[in-house]
Amino acid sequence: MFSISSKATPPEEGGGGAQVMISEGVLDAAGSRPVAAFALHVASSLLPLGMCTARDGTMLAAADTLEITVHGRGGHGSQPHLAADPIPAACEIVTALQTLVTRRFDVFDPVVITVGSFHAGTASNVIPDQAELAVTVRSFSPGARAAVQDAALRLVRDVASAHELSATAEFVDGYPVTVNDAEEVTFASRVVAGLFGSERFLRTPNPISGSEDFSYVLEQVPGAFIMLGACPPGVDPAIAPYNHSAEAVFDDAVLADGATLLAELALRRLCLPGG
pLDDT digits (tens, 9 = 90+) for 182-197: 999 999 999 999 999 9
Residue 74, domain member (yes or no): yes
Is there a single domain that holds both residue 115 and residue 53? no
pLDDT tens for residues 39-92? Answer: 999 999 999 999 999 999 999 999 999 999 999 999 999 999 999 999 999 999
Among residues 141, 175, 209, the one where a domain terminates is 175
Residue 18, domain member (yes or no): no
Long-range contacts of range 89-94, CB-CB < 8 Å, 24 or more positions apart?
Answer: 89/131, 89/159, 89/160, 89/162, 89/163, 89/165, 89/167, 90/118, 90/120, 90/131, 90/133, 92/159, 92/163, 93/68, 93/133, 93/155, 93/156, 93/159, 93/160, 93/167, 94/118, 94/133
Among residues 116, 141, 175, the one where a domain terminates is 175
Is there a single domain that holds both residue 185 and residue 54? yes
Give the mean model confidence (pLDDT) for residues 198-221.
95
Number of C-beta neighbours around residue 66 at 10 A: 21
Range of the domain at 56: 33-60+177-271
Residue 165 scores a pLDDT above 50: yes
Residue 12 scores a pLDDT above 90: no
| 209, 210, 213, 218 alpha-carbon torsion, rounded to 10° | -40
Residue 105, domain member (yes or no): yes
Give the mean model confidence (pLDDT) for residues 108-120.
97
**Residue 213 in contact with residue 18, Cβ under 8 Å?**
yes
Q: Identify residue 20 by its one-letter amino acid code.
A: V
DSSP secondary-structure letter at 84?
B
Helix (H, G, I), strand (E, B) or coil at 30: coil
The CATH number for 216's domain is 3.40.630.10
pLDDT of 273 reads 77
Q: Could you tell me the sign of the dihedral formed by the alpha carbons of 233, 235, 236, 237, in that order?
A: negative
pLDDT of 214 reads 96
pLDDT of 272 reads 84
Is there a single domain that holds both residue 38 and residue 123? no
Give the mean model confidence (pLDDT) for residues 161-171.
97
Q: Enumerate residues 6+ apart whose C-beta is below 8 A from 84.
A: 72, 73, 75, 163, 164, 165
Is there a single domain that holds both residue 72 and residue 155? yes
Residue 4, domain member (yes or no): no
Among residues 146, 175, 204, the one where a domain terminates is 175
Residue 185, domain member (yes or no): yes
pLDDT tens for residues 119-137? Answer: 999 999 999 999 999 999 9
Is there a single domain that holds both residue 148 and residue 221? no
Beta strands of 30-188 (E only): which ranges?
Answer: 37-43, 52-54, 57-60, 62-71, 75-76, 111-120, 126-127, 130-139, 166-175, 178-180
The CATH number for 168's domain is 3.30.70.360
pLDDT of 9 reads 64
Is there a single domain that holds both residue 191 and residue 235? yes
Residue 191, domain member (yes or no): yes
Is there a single domain that holds both residue 115 and residue 212? no
Is there a single domain that holds both residue 196 and residue 232? yes
Phi, psi dihedrals of residue 39, rounded to the nearest 5°: -135, 145
pLDDT tens for residues 139-164? Answer: 999 999 999 999 999 999 999 999 99
Of the candidates 273, 221, 231, the one whose C-alpha atom is nearest the C-alpha of residue 53 is 231
pLDDT of 207 reads 96
Residue 14, domain member (yes or no): no
Residues of the chain with pLDDT > 70: what percent?
Answer: 95
Is there a single domain that holds both residue 46 and residue 90? no
| Cα–Cα distance, 110 to 139 (Å, whole number) | 6
Residue 10, domain member (yes or no): no
**Residue 207 in contact with residue 55, Cβ under 8 Å?**
yes
pTM value?
A: 0.88
Is there a single domain that holds both residue 141 and residue 103? yes
pLDDT of 6 reads 44
pLDDT of 16 reads 77
Is there a single domain that holds both residue 54 and residue 182? yes
What's the total number of domains in the chain?
2
Give the mean model confidence (pLDDT) for residues 94-104.
96
Residues of the chain with pLDDT > 90: what percent?
Answer: 89
Is there a single domain that holds both residue 153 and residue 207? no
Q: Give the angle 180-184-188 at the CA atoms, nearest 5°.
A: 110
